[in-house]
Amino acid sequence: GENVEQHPSTLSVQEGDSAVIKCTYSDSASNYFPWYKQELGKGPQLIIDIRSNVGEKKDQRIAVTLNKTAKHFSLHITETQPEDSAVYFCAASRGGNTPLVFGKGTRLSVIA
Amino acid sequence: SAVISQKPSRDICQRGTSLTIQCQVDSQVTMMFWYRQQPGQSLTLIATANQGSEATYESGFVIDKFPISRPNLTFSTLTVSNMSPEDSSIYLCSVVSSGGPDEQFFGPGTRLTVL
Query: Per residue in A27-81, pLDDT tens?
Result: 999 999 999 999 999 999 999 999 988 899 999 999 999 999 999 999 999 999 9
Q: If we measure between CA atoms, which residue out of B50, B107, B33 comes closest to residue A43?
A: B107
pLDDT tens digits along B24-71: 999 988 889 999 999 989 999 999 998 888 899 999 999 999 999 999
Distance CA B109, CA A41 (A): 8
Phi, psi of A21 (to 5 degrees): -125, 135
pLDDT at B1: 74
A3 to chain B, any CB pair closer than 8 A? The answer is no
Tally A–B CB contacts below 8 A: 51
Cα distance from A78 to chain B (closest Cα, Å)?
24
Distance CA A60, CA A65 (A): 14
Instruction: For residue B109, give the nearest of A43, A46, A101 by CB distance.
Output: A43
Instruction: For residue B45, give the nearest of A32, A34, A99 by CB distance.
Output: A99
Alpha helices in B1-115 (DSSP H): none
Q: Are A48 and A34 spatial neighbours (Cβ–Cβ below 8 Å)?
A: yes
B10 to chain A, any CB pair closer than 8 A? The answer is no
pLDDT at B53: 85
Q: If we measure between CA atoms, which residue out of A92, A94, A112 comes closest to residue A102?
A: A92
